[in-house]
Structure 1
Amino acid sequence: MKNVIKYFLISFICVTCFMLHVTWVNAEELKLELIPSSIEIAAKPNSSINLQYALTNKGDPLVVKIEVLPFEIKDSTGQVVLGNRLEGLIGFTIDSQDSRSEPMLLKTNEIKRFTLGIQVPEGLPEQDYYYSLVIVTNPPPIPEGIVSVRAKITLASHLLITISSNGQIQIKPKITLFEPRSQFNLKIGNATVHFFDSSSSIPIVLLVDNTGKNLIQAEGMIAEKGFLTGVKKYEVKSQTILAESQRLLIVDSASANKLTNQLTNNSLVLKGFHIGLYDVSASVNSGKGTPGVYGKTFFIALPFKLLLVLILIIFISVFLYKRFKK
């Protein structure tokens, strides 16, 4: 009995010491929703616009700050880079105050509604201007003795502003690259022949430049035509290309099945068994009634792997035949 009491006291002391020295860790859930997520605006010089936003916190309480920043295109996949500070002649206010709000606490399930005011001055050059309404989070203070896994996130709603006094915009798309991505190419004069194995997937790249000073909504079609398979069409749904930038257009069609690479390295991946010569064409426009641009390429698919296996089988068969014949 004495031994039981002794072990109990030792266990009690150990557990008490552990509880006094332990540091509790708390992981926070961050879930914000900003509506609208993106907006296109057409405005005239010397005008004002008011936009309504709703910010909903569906996670743990946190502190947020709202501000407006310019952004630039990072690459042809549509990624952007935010600027460090607001610049330019266009003015912004948040709830009739400055373009940067004071930090505010958002409780769980709380909705913050606010108005973004945009002031376009007289004489502003008629072109596109790109900004983002940015939400930056800072978790609230935590009690002493608790370690919290605290994340800082940035949520942005893009503002795509087109300034035009008469409503006319400049639409100038251009296909700069349209070809299959092959490891085996043969250049003949000005043409490049792309070779694939019949069983391989065939990635297609469609890169479009917007050389105008206004954004465009590019859409169109990619068509594949083979000698035995007929014509297969793949829809390119509307995708935004900002002024003086380029975009890798991605096919979004049920007939295209699942793309083997959805990280926008390819526009389309053709699957299945291919053999012979295939023509691939692309047509891109900026909506009904707008001029289109066109591209054409081709590739050759042959059963190289199958031929290699057959040659190997024939070689082994001949070798064994001669060996046993002797």
Structure 2
Amino acid sequence: MSVINQALATAARLHQGQLTKPQGSLGKLEELAIWFAARSNSAVPARLLPAVVVFAADHGVAAESVSAFPAEVTGQMVANFVAGGAAINVLAREAGASLSVADVGVASSYTVTESGNAVLFRVPVRAGTANLRIEPAMSEQECNQAWTIGLDRVQEALAGGKSLLIGGEMGIGNTTAAAALICALTHIEPEKIVGLGTGITAQSREHKVQVVKDALARARAAGAVSAKDWLVQVGGLEIAALAGFYTGAAEAGIPVLLDGFITTAAALVAVKNKPEVADWLLASHCSDEKGHGHALAALQLEPILQLGLRLGEASGAALTLPLIQSALALHRDMATFSSAGIATK
């Protein structure tokens, strides 16, 4: 596991103190630059080369009517990603990030039209998970297979010289799986974690809370203890792939920018499985999904933005990219008091 470089953080903080501005006047932008310096090879990091990978899979729990959309939408949205029509396509283009999609377990058939907008990797472990309310979502072997797909995407990013990784997700029913995982790993009751997902009614949310309670009770009775146990019991294939993705990034020493509720649930799994992963995680935003703030608090992460988002797809993380790049550009390109011939206080 890679370790952060505190000497570079100290050097970056000293550099901030020499720039032509009152110390601390750029607020969190200064801290962002220092955070990245500690996770790079320089006290003055270069412009980031970001890669977005959206992991897609279906969920058997969708049969419990926990989503406002039918399960076929997962495959249809994968086709939309490849065609270039989704929010993440627009935002990745704006931010200059590469975009790829990994089908880890989409259940319905779909046809894609290659457009150069996103590279598609069809690597389905199975056609969606089982219904986590009544049985384990997947087998241990399937969980490990999905996890490895996430690791593989890190290796691809490394080969491409990427210096920041962003995971996204697509999967009808996945807020239910994410809520169950967060409840299991934080010991917070479902009423505080389960949200409206894709826009269900308050009555449907009450049903969704019960589904999560039933899943947790079943998994607990089945002997779930570790983070990976819970992932097998109540997780999703795309969540397992994301957890592997974050673990692989930390092992390779590449910073990770988290997106929303589902990706944070995956990060929680990764950190509970290997605590050192936490050093490489940065929270882009806090979404409007009910339990996201609790999950971020469990990871001791403070979000950069709070815009009331709940789309997923890595959209919130992509929106944060220009802000981070600006923080690094200020750190890198501003004059110092000495170079500008300006008197210090």
- Report the TM-score range of the alignment, normalised by the length of the smaller protein: under 0.3
TM-score, length-scaled by structure 2: 0.20
TM-score normalised by the chain length of structure 1: 0.21
Structure with the higher helix share, 1 or 2: 2
Q: Which has the larger radius of gyration?
A: 1
Which of 1 and 2 has higher RCO (CA within 8 Å, sep 6+)?
2
